[in-house]
Structure 1
Amino acid sequence: MSRVLLWAPLGSIALLMVVFAVALLGPGRDAADPLQGEALPELPLETFDPAMPGFDPEAVEGPYLLNLWASWCAPCRIEHPVFMDLAERGIPIYGVVYKDDRADARAFLAELGNPFAGFAADPEGRAALELGVTGVPETFLIDGSGVVRARWRGAVSEPVWDRQFEPAWQAAMAEEN
């Protein structure tokens, strides 16, 4: 009996970890996403920095990633090297700076590098509300017609790119050609 009491908490923790891993990483995480397959909504965005390239969804040609991020966001720092790599591969990424001080966001980019083709600011979180963002980071894949093809809530890692975005990216690129 004492052995059962000794191992029960450890077994419970292990079971919870498995349940959370399946819930977070399992297939169909965003299957019920109401934006998937819909046109990107009109976003009330502001200019991030007049000296830097901007982001206007109407002016972007071809598929791209849209990433909502902030300098104060720890997972944004974690995913940043993945975006640097994707940008080097020629994948356009546009950043929306979410509820952040512009100077802090510029310092973040100066420290870690800039993978973004253009920027916009969402200082009050109104654009995030239009997108149904639950917290940063969140990343969307938008096809050349302006339709949301994929979405990820949380930091994008290489496995997330491979599983959630790469197939949709390839399909969107095939439609462009």
Structure 2
Amino acid sequence: MSRVLLWAPLGSIALLVAIFAIALLAPAPEASDPLKDEPLPALPLQDFAGPYPGFEPEDIEGPYLLNVWASWCPPCRVEHPFLMQLDAEGKPIYGIVYKDDPVDAIGFLDELGNPFTALMADPEGRAGLELGLTGAPETFLVDEAGVVRARWRGALSEPVWIRHFEDEWQAALARAAAAG
């Protein structure tokens, strides 16, 4: 009986630690995104300095990726090689330079390459507010009708693409082909 009394508190603590560990390590349920399946909102963007063409989201035809990034953002540097790969595969990527100095952003692209079809700037973060950004980078898949079909908060990578974007990308391509 005395052994049970001795080990009961330790067993209880071990059980609580196990429950907390399972709760903390379990994948979080995906929160619903208020932009998913909604038209891309109007974005108060500014022309980006430098030798890069600009864009108006409503004028883009076909599905595309909208990537919000900045030179000061370490995860943006991490995702950049994958963006270069997507560009090499012919996937159009439109970039929004988020709260960044144009000279620094141009230096970033000069150093790492430019995967963007066109660029605009969001120096004050007003477009970021419209998109509900939590930070940079964030990537949106916008279909041929201007509807947001997928979103990723954080660095885009091949596993993320396969799990969160690939099916939506293929569906958007199919809809665009059927419409056009």
1:18 aligns with 2:17: no
Equivalent residue letter for 1:147? V
Which residue in the other structure is 1:41 paired with? 41
Identity of aligned residues (%): 61
Instruction: Report the TM-score, using the length of structure 1 for normalisation.
Output: 0.87
- In 2, the alpha carbon distance for the partners of 1:51 and 1:157 equals 27
- In 1, the alpha carbon distance for the partners of 2:23 and 2:58 equals 44
Matches within 5 A, 1:32-111: 32-49=32-49, 51-111=51-111
- In 1, the alpha carbon distance for the partners of 2:121 and 2:20 equals 41
Which residue in the other structure is 2:176 paired with? 176
Q: Count residues in correspondence.
A: 167
Q: CA RMSD in A?
A: 2.0
Judge conservation of contact 2:36–2:150 (CA < 8 Å) in 1. Answer: yes
Computing the radius of gyration from Cα coordinates, the structure with the larger value is: 2
Q: Deviations over 1:105-143 (max 9, x none)?
A: 000011111000000000000000001011111100000
Shift of 1:18: 1.8
- In 2, the alpha carbon distance for the partners of 1:145 and 1:61 equals 8
Judge conservation of contact 2:50–2:106 (CA < 8 Å) in 1. Answer: no
Which residue in the other structure is 2:116 paired with? 116
Which residue in the other structure is 2:3 paired with? none
User: Where do 5+ consecutive residues of structure 1 fail to align?
Assistant: none
- In 2, the alpha carbon distance for the partners of 1:136 and 1:15 equals 29
Shift of 1:17: 5.7
